[in-house]
Structure 1
């Protein structure tokens, strides 16, 4: 059996995308991480390769995934010698829900664009939980993953504070037509994309593999480009304000975990922590509503 420390070095490298960052997290040298990872990969006859900026395994990962299952179970049991549990979130959910982190948990990179990579990390047991912030597009009836709704909130049309439409009431589609609007690559959020396209929005594609403020809300500094945000997201995007236009789009936050682990006490404790955070946030943001499941 692979030692917990050896697997943690490899998985932290994969999760944080960097041996240097893994070494900082684990309080050791980068050379120690690199040497360990070479030995672990050789043990399983695997190699690591970069695919669209993320580490992926080349080879048959079956035995490695079996090891991960054992090590994940130990983390969840909170054994005295076990490592922290692992949670990922996006750039606005992290400060809203995970500052500070709940006891016994460690956080991720907070900059994934889309859902593909966080869901992969969950399926492959690299991480133990993800706060999914794209409720219309989160997986439904997935045999491996359970989605626990925490709260719901409208998605607003927003723009720079000096945009020509700021302060105007009763905006219509015709009012929006002259202005460009941001979009991510097609297919990342198909349901959300369809709603926005129905309003003539989601036009100018932004190509970014990781969230970068200058490539998203920074694009609105031209004083004409429109974008979208919930009240929680606006907290992380200073300088943007809501426009008086109803997108008819409801999103929110959800806890996503592996279905076979959702009743583990550690994950139930996490859910209670996040529900408590939602209750606090609801007092700050009137348009945030607790989900029935919470």
Structure 2
């Protein structure tokens, strides 16, 4: 009902949020994107509108979801060019997805929270997501998605190198109490949030809809605000250091995939590539623990 190019054009705009970026990626004019997407939506009986900066479809999407299932299998099994869609966050994208694995294209690398990447996965707009928030990722009861853990790592308490607590040993909660600590809007990471609030942290909300360095780790440049990072996240945050306080929080990187395509060869090749990169990164980060394939899937 909908051609491969037509659905790729629509879904790329939904994924990348921009008709201009879609036109650049698909090597056509922006007016072509607008015209063809309007025609595709008309044929499917749908409309599209912005919701907090993200494109959301309105109407009965049953036919569209069926089309996407077929097109996803085509991408995974038959496509020879770079057509598979991989999303990640601001630290996993550069360190695990660059250079992009063969046949894969990269995404925005700037989502805040898990809701949108998980929605894009469930609706088959994207094919894979490197999820970096293990305590809050879907569990084994999820009917649509499978989480394949790649590594484990502690979450550090971090701050500007000139913070008054930098370099001090044996910090306690009383030492932390005078200082604000970064938080995201309530409910984005409920288990992580509960742990940090239990320590008196997660107190100063960063109201960013997209990841921006100045709105997150940039806030620590005041030399009083505290933040959090895994070893891989800290590696892309220059000027920040680990403080000597155990948050008791373990996270890591996982590949999140739809259950019905996890055995596809393209997915398994991606997994192999990511595991190899984790092994290399673990040589530089002592607290980064790779997870073997036999223990990885939940």
| TM-score range normalised by the length of the shorter chain | over 0.9
Aligned to 1:107: 106
Partner of 1:212: 212
Residue aligned with 1:162, SS:
coil
Alignment partners' CA distance in 1, 2:122 and 2:203: 32
- Report 1:78-97 matches (<5 A): 78-80=78-80, 84-97=83-96
Asked if 1:31 is matched to 2:31, the reply is: yes
CA separation in 1, counterparts of 2:79 and 2:237? 39
Inter-partner Cα distance in structure 2 for 1:54 and 1:222:
31
TM-score by length of 2: 0.97
Match of residue 65 from structure 2: 65
Which residues of structure 1 form unaligned runs of 5+?
A: none
Aligned residue in 1 for 2:126: 127
**1-structure distance, mates of 2:255, 2:172:** 35
Aligned match of 2:40: 40
The answer as to whether partners of 1:75 and 1:83 remain within 8 angstroms in 2 is: no
Matched, 1:144 2:144: yes
Say if 1:145 and 1:258, in contact at 8 Å, map to a contact too.
yes
SS at match of 1:50: strand
User: Which consecutive segments of 4 or more residues in structure 1 shift more than 6 A?
Assistant: none
RMSD (Å), alpha carbons: 1.0
Instruction: State the aligned residue count.
Output: 293
User: Aligned partners of 2:189, 2:92: CA distance in 1, in Å?
Assistant: 17
| Alpha-carbon distance in structure 2 between the residues aligned to 1:169 and 1:36 | 61
Cα 1:255–1:109, aligned 2, differ >3 Å: closer, same or farther? same
> CA shift at 1:83, angstroms?
5.7
1:245 match: secondary structure: strand
The gaps in structure 2 that reach 5 residues or longer are none
TM-score norm. by structure 1 comes to: 0.98
1:189 aligns with 2:189: yes
3-state SS, counterpart of residue 253 of structure 2 = strand
In the TM superposition, 1:220-259 aligns within 5 A as 220-259=220-259
Is residue 2:185 matched to residue 1:174?
no
Deviations 1:5-28 (A, max 9, x none): 111110000000010011111111
Q: Does 1:200 align with 2:200?
A: yes
Deviation of 1:2 after TM superposition, in Å, equals: 1.3
Separation in 1, partners of 2:52, 2:61: 19
Q: Distance in 1 between matches of 2:123 and 2:101?
A: 23
Q: Are residues 215 and 59 of structure 1, via their aligned partners in 2, closer, same or farther at CA, if it must alter by over 3 Å?
A: same
